[in-house]
Amino acid sequence: MKYEPINLEQKFSLFSEQWKPKVIAEMNDYQFKIVKLEGDFVWHDHPETDETFIVLEGKLRIDFRDGSVNIQAGEMYVVPKGVEHKPYAENEVKLILIEPRGVLNTGEAGGDITAQNNIWI
Amino acid sequence: MKYEPINLEQKFSLFSEQWKPKVIAEMNDYQFKIVKLEGDFVWHDHPETDETFIVLEGKLRIDFRDGSVNIQAGEMYVVPKGVEHKPYAENEVKLILIEPRGVLNTGEAGGDITAQNNIWI
């Protein structure tokens, strides 16, 4: 039997909307999501979990209340649980998010930009 | 304050040995490990957890008892818990492994090629 890998570029080609994470895989109760980001997000945190960003294309900046981190293609960063952060990308960036199933993109912040959760692609 | 991302290529430049995963980050009780593989591994499984492979360079084949999956750079695969598998790479492949802290590379199989666990780089 031939099993199929998950091709990231192929998955990214299936959508163009930004700030709407799509689930591409699960590992135990964690999900791998891909997302395209551009511009400024809202301040939020995830009180119950760390959150991993792996940047595949472009440059992402994550602002914290006391500083920031710049993450470019080939780099990753784990935002600790409970730490307020705000992603920002001057130009579109493509990345993988890894976090437990059920985590919302805006954490506790809510609002219009809260993406529907658990959308598979 | 300036926070530092984890640069995968820089981390890979720090070692040349194969089949010895190095931890580069933690997310809750999960670890991100990088590893260089070449040749054939042993059949093994991880009875308690899924295991994620993200290939960054080269081509990896994972054999299962009833088939196989080919994973190349830019692709990923999640091996379900309890499923026997055997990684193989004709030429050196660089990849990220993601699994809970404490998982051994050989699962329950043991033997000389069991790598020391929890080695950070």
B69: its two tokens: 């999956």
CA distances (Å), origin B40, targets A112, B12, B29: 51, 20, 29
Say whether pLDDT at A109 is over 80: no
Q: Which residues of A touch B68 (CB under 8 A)?
A: 2-3
The Cα–Cα gap between A35 and A51 comes to: 14
Residue B64's beta-bridge partner residues? B67, B85
Residue found by looking up tokens 């997000």 in the block: A41
Check if the beta carbon of residue B99 is closer than 8 Å to that of residue A30: no
- Of A59-63, A105-109, B36-40, B93-97, the one with minimum mean pLDDT is A105-109
Distance from CA of B120 to the nearest CA of A (A): 15
Residue A103 confidence class, pLDDT cut points 50, 70, 90 = confident
What is the pTM (predicted TM-score) of this model? 0.96
Nearest to A74 among B8, B30, B66 (CB): B8
CATH topology of domain A32-100: Jelly Rolls (2.60.120)
Residues paired with residue A52 on neighbouring β-strands, in sequence order = A78, A98
CATH class, B31-100 region: mainly beta
Q: CB-based contact (8 Å) between B29 and chain A? A: no
Dihedral (CA of B4, B9, B14, B17) sign: positive
Name the burial class of residue A70, with classes exposed (0-12), middle (13-18) and buried (19+) by CB atoms within 10 angstroms of its CB: middle
Structure tokens at B118: 């929890």
Angstrom distance (rounded) from CA B3 to CA B83: 39
Does B106 have pLDDT greater than 80?
yes
pLDDT at B35 over 80: yes
Cβ <8 Å between A52 and B74 = no
Cβ distance B3 to A49 less than 8 Å, yes or no, reads: no
B71 CB neighbours in chain A (<8 A) are 5
Give the angle B88-A74-B101 at the CA atoms, nearest 5°.
60
Average pLDDT, chain A: 95
Identify from B6, B57, B85 which residue to disrupt to test chain A contact, counting A C-beta atoms within 10 A and taking the largest count.
Answer: B6
Annotated domain spans of chain B? 31-100
Q: How far apart are CA B11 and CA B22, in angstroms?
A: 9
Q: Which stretches within chain A are classed as H helix?
A: 8-12
